[in-house]
Chain A
Amino acid sequence: MKQIKTLNRANLKESAARGGCGECQASCQSACKTSCTVTNQKCENKNR
């Protein structure tokens, strides 16, 4: 494509099928405690 550049190959729909293992960190256990960002957590699913 010449006029549009796609930055990622993310597909949330696919992640629904193999996701949900629950082994990743709860967001408030990282560095916030007063606000909430979930996207900056690392995925720890070994089967993804």
Chain B
Amino acid sequence: MIHRYVSNGYRIVLDTNSGAVHIFGEAPFAMLDYLDGSVPDKPPEGMLRDLSDRFGEETLREGYGEILELYRKGQLFSADVYGPYAALLKNAPIKSMCLNIAHDCNLRCRYCFAAQGDFGGERMLMPFSVAKSAVDFLVAHSGARHNLELDFFGGEPLMNFDVVKKTVAYAHSLEKQHNKNFRFTITTNGLLLNDDRIDFINREMSNCILSLDGRKEVNDRLRVRVDGSGCYDSIVPKFQKLVARRSREKDYYVRGTFTKYNLDFTNDVKHYLELGFPEISVEPVVSDPRLDYSIREEDLPRVSEEYDRLSQLVIERAKEGRGFDFFHFMVDLNQGPCVIKRLRGCSCGNEYVAVTPTGDVYPCHQFVGKPEWRMGSVLDDTLDTEMKNRFALTNVYSKPECRGCWAKFYCSGGCNANNLEYEGDIRRPHKVSCFLEKKRLECAIMIQAALADSGNEQMRG
């Protein structure tokens, strides 16, 4: 299977099953119209007849030879041989945990999937005893995995920061005995940041996610406090202080959500850069299409245009030596994840679980609040292994629409929670998310092409 497209003047051909990415000249790109899944030793008659006036026979024969070479090397129309691996994903250890340390929030963001902090239930903070049991549960179910991830999430984790600190200390205390390396991450809206907390986060958290939606008017329209006022003025100086004091060895992302209200989100990315935040993630809101701010199918052409605009900004800044990272455009074409990882996907409900303040285990943070998806409890060390195996086998081969999709080894089947929420089934991909994911991948690969071609731009046509 191949995917071919033209973007920013580059004719890009992606070979899905090998992962090879090629930039084609005009003649070989035109020849692909005549090839269907394989490359015969000799060019099809019709191809030479139809294209010789346009390109000349010598160019065509040379181009065809190059196509044939790629085919023989397994870099074009290569076969999908990974199906058998997908069946082996059961019984994996659990190695990542999202700890919903606070089912409460000091903001009332209008688009919040966590029902403005309480996940549709009672507002409460996780007691340390539950957090401790969660860490024990993770260690006990992690098998031989060395790297364990613990994400402090909410609601707003800083509302329960003493428990965050105690949990970090407790997890560290287990590392040597169990041969584990804990990596902590936190997602915060910033309101309760102070110097001590900034220092703790910068010391202990391998990654921190700072929630900000870009320009003040964009942020303050939807990210509001209980009294309806915006939070921009309070949080931006705190985020700037955190980033200024943070080691470059450690990750952070300023993370925004774009909605129908700011389809020009490239301007929000520019605003982050003006504020001094070059590590950026901006994601589409995922919400009921009936709501005013939701991204609907009719908005997709406009969003596509904006991703193209953002791609240009990424390329321009990189060429000027002022590059920045946009999370969803980051793709390492050479040393990216192995195909087994790509089959595992997000691993929700299998290697990754979420834990609520009462100790209940769910497949991920987005399933919390849906009792039928409760998998167990860290308090009595129960886990529904049947449900775990069901998630383990939820992959691109068990999702009929993914099986034939060129992007299957990049998005790995998408977000199961979004699939459930908007398509009614964890194995039926959410259409809007799929469209946007494919567009972002096309942009990400084009950016790599443009940067590889930087200087002479010889492959651009």
Contact = CB atoms under 8 A, between A and B. Distances in A.
A2 B333 contact: no
B346 A28 contact: yes
Interface residues of B, number: 93
A5 B22 contact: yes
B24 A4 contact: yes
B78 A3 contact: no
B69 A1 contact: yes
Interface string A18-29: 111011111111
Nearest to B89: A20
Given A13-B18, A13-B81, A16-B339, A37 B75 contact: no
Contacts of B187: 33
A6 B364 CA distance: 38
Nearest to B208: A31
A27 to B, nearest CB: 5
Contact of A39 (B253, B337, B433, B436): B337
A29 B151 contact: yes
Mostly, the B contact residues are mixed
A10 B347 CA distance: 23
A5 B351 contact: no
Contact of B336 (A23, A34, A43): A43
Contact of A38 (B69, B333, B342): B342
Chain A, interface size category, equals 35 or more
A39 B336 contact: yes
B70 A11 contact: no
B365 A37 contact: no
Contacts of B66: 1-4
Given A10-B20, A22-B92, A40-B328, A31 B147 contact: no
Interface string B57-100: 00100110011011000110010011001000000110110100
Nearest to B92: A22
A42 B332 contact: yes
A3 B352 contact: no
B404 to A, nearest CB: 17
A10 to B, nearest CB: 4
B86 to A, nearest CB: 11
A48 to B, nearest CB: 7
B273 interface: no
B79 to A, nearest CB: 9
Interface string B428-461: 0000010011001100100011001100000100
Contacts of B437: 35-37
Interface in B320-335: 327-328, 330-335
A8 B334 contact: yes
A16 to B, nearest CB: 5
Contact of B286 (A5, A18, A34): A34
A38 B408 CA distance: 10
B335 A33 contact: no
B410 A28 contact: no
Nearest to A26: B96
23 contacts: A1-B66, A4-B22, A4-B25, A5-B22, A5-B453, A7-B449, A8-B19, A8-B21, A8-B334, A10-B333, A11-B18, A13-B74, A20-B85, A25-B149, A29-B98, A32-B283, A32-B327, A32-B328, A34-B286, A36-B412, A36-B414, A39-B337, A43-B338
Interface of A: 1-13, 15-16, 18-20, 22-45, 48
